[in-house]
Amino acid sequence: MRISDYIEQAGANLWRKKLRTILTTTGVVIGIGALVCMFAFGQGIQRNVTNQFNNLDLFNYINVSVGSNPRGYHDSFDPDDPDAIEDTADDPTAHAASAGMQEAAPGLDARFVEEVTAIKGVIAAFPEMRFPAQVRLGHREEFTLVQVLPAAVSQSGLVQLRAGSMYRSDEPNELVISDSFLHRLGERESDKALGREIEVATLTLDFSLRRLYRMAFPAGDQTLPFARESYRFKVVGVAQRMGFGGPMPVRSDVYIPPGAAGRMRKLTLTSIWDFFKPAGQEANYSMVSVKVESPQDVTPVKKVLESRGYRTFALMDQLDQMRIGFLIMDMFLIAVGMIGITVASLGIVNTMVMSILERYREIGIMKAVGATDGDVQRIFLFESGVIGLLGGLFGLALAAAVSLVINEVINAFMARQHAPRMAYFDFPWWLCLGAVAFSIFVSLMAGIYPTRRAARVDPVIALRHD
């Protein structure tokens, strides 16, 4: 028999029992649709996260902080250990290392920022500069941390805007505020905030003679020696809401340029040790963000910084772990979807077995006129394969329709939370082809037992069967 004969015979046999064929195929459609929909959801989440990081160049950033042992000396050295003293008694290098442990750790200051920009592959570097402030708009006032962000960095696309634009230089008294913080200040419409003046009030230490005099007496002013300084800024942009405080290195609700920040009197405490730094000493930064040209430059730049004793962190380090997490999520979703496929497979087995019982005499006639066991097997395998093909194609259509509805519902809900619209499902070509192929494969596997049973039919007994 030719392949066309098998297909024609399989189609005719399935068409004779239309209702049973439709019900069996519907089971496959639901199983494949559920499996594809779940897998497409996992792929969509992975694509959205990866694209968001790529669009913001977050894979191109390295966060540098001071290490606990930046010069690379061994923390395990114990001067009270007699064995350690004997080992280093005649070793001048060991004495030098021991003495080096008492040296101050290399700080993150303006000089470090200049030096790190000279490293090959580095585009820019800017410090983590945030200070506490009370922000007032109209009659509403809220506390937040204001972040100093250079204009060049702010215009690189790191901050996603909902309205307006970023400040174009480091000098003007202009700021960008997040829409979520703007809502806390009582302004619901982002466009109406553009051009308005916002008051930013900072805290400074007040050790004036008058304040010290008032603090010296029990009946005097015993409050903390802080003074309030107010500055006026114009809103030029409104940033989109950033989940979890925003991706590093952007982690605040208000951004101002360095020039304007330099003209402000403020407390820029990065740690408690800033209280004990000598007078006139330049303040160190808690962290410096380094931007490299491409993700391929992250590893070599990290090695240079770590060799100098600094501690580094980059999202590229977590990429493999993120992929493992996505893989685990995909496996979980596939496991849930396989439940539907298993039920559909049992339906195919039931349909094929019933077809054999109903066509017992027909099978005997085919064998009596010369059909081989292989011919009988192939006829029934083609029938189960057609069920799988139809189930895979309509399952894809079902998954696409369901995902479209779910995507619209989620986006409608997220729009109320002022979140950007996005596609939560992704259907790559390999998923579509793989779904149809998998549906056919499962159907053929489910049809193996019925076809073998049909091939073992004795034509003599089958012809006597009523």
- For residues 50 and 116, membership in a common domain is answered with no
Instruction: Check: CB of residue 307 under 8 Å from CB of residue 267.
Output: no
Summarize the confidence of residues 327-351 as an average pLDDT: 79
Tell me: do 253 and 157 sit in the same domain. yes
Give the other-Cβ count within 10 Å of 273's Cβ: 9
pLDDT at residue 79, as a whole number? 37
**One-character DSSP codes across 82-104:** HHHHHHHTT-HHHHHHHHHTTSP
d(CA 413, CA 318): 30
Q: Flag the least confident range among 11-25, 200-214, 369-383, 410-424.
A: 200-214
Domain final residue pick, 314, 331, 358: 314
Report residue 419: phi and psi, to 5°: -95, 145
3-class secondary structure, 114: helix
Domain count, the chain: 2
- Packing angle, helices 429-455 and 18-55, rounded to 10: 150
Mean pLDDT to the nearest integer, 49-58: 70
pLDDT tens sequence across 224-262 = 556 788 999 999 999 876 543 444 566 688 999 988 988
Please identify, among 285, 314, 343, the residue that sits at the C-terminal boundary of a domain. Answer: 314
If asked whether residues 301 and 329 sit together in one domain, one would say no
Helices 319-358, 18-55: inter-axial angle, 10-degree rounding = 170
Structure confidence by residue, pLDDT tens digits, 2-53: 777 767 777 777 787 788 888 888 888 888 888 888 888 888 888 887 777 6
Q: Is residue 35 part of a domain?
A: yes
Residue 456 lies in a domain: yes
pLDDT above 70 for 153? yes
Residue 238 · residue 224 · CB < 8 Å: no
Q: Looking at the structure, do residues 299 and 333 belong to the same domain, yes or no?
A: no
Least confident residue range of 156-160, 224-228, 249-253, 443-447: 224-228
Asked if residue 68 belongs to a domain, the reply is: no
Q: Are residues 287 and 335 in the same domain?
A: no
267 lies in the same domain as 362: no
Decide which of 43 and 466 is more confident.
Answer: 43
Enclosing domain of residue 179 = 110-314
Q: What is the pLDDT of residue 67?
A: 64
Same domain, 162 and 296: yes
pTM, two decimal places: 0.55
Is the same domain home to 294 and 205?
Answer: yes
Residue 303 confidence (pLDDT): 87
| Residue 260 resides in a domain | yes
Among 223-227, 415-419, 421-425, where is mean pLDDT lowest? 223-227
Cβ–Cβ under 8 Å, residues 301 and 62: yes
Of 314, 332, 367, which residue sits at a domain end?
314
174 belongs to a structural domain: yes
What does the pLDDT read at residue 373? 75
Q: Read off the pLDDT band of 132 (50, 70, 90).
A: confident
Nearest to 63 by CA among 301, 270, 322, 239: 301
pLDDT recorded at residue 55: 65
- The encoded tokens of residue 133 equal 């402030």
Same domain, residue pair 349 and 301: no
Residue 385 CB partners (closer than 8 Å, separation 6+)? 10, 440, 443, 444, 447
Alpha carbons 242 and 217: distance in angstroms, whole number: 48
Give the alpha-carbon dihedral of 283, 285, 100, 278, to 10 degrees. 20
The verdict on 295 and 376 lying in the same domain is: no
List pLDDT tens digits, range 281-322: 455 677 788 888 888 888 888 888 888 888 888 877 777 677
The reply to whether 302 and 361 lie within a common domain is no
Shared domain check, 382 and 298? no
R_g over Cα of the chain: 35
The DSSP line for 361-411 is: HHHHHHHHTT--HHHHHHHHHHHHHHHHHHHHHHHHHHHHHHHHHHHHHHH
pLDDT in the model for residue 246: 44
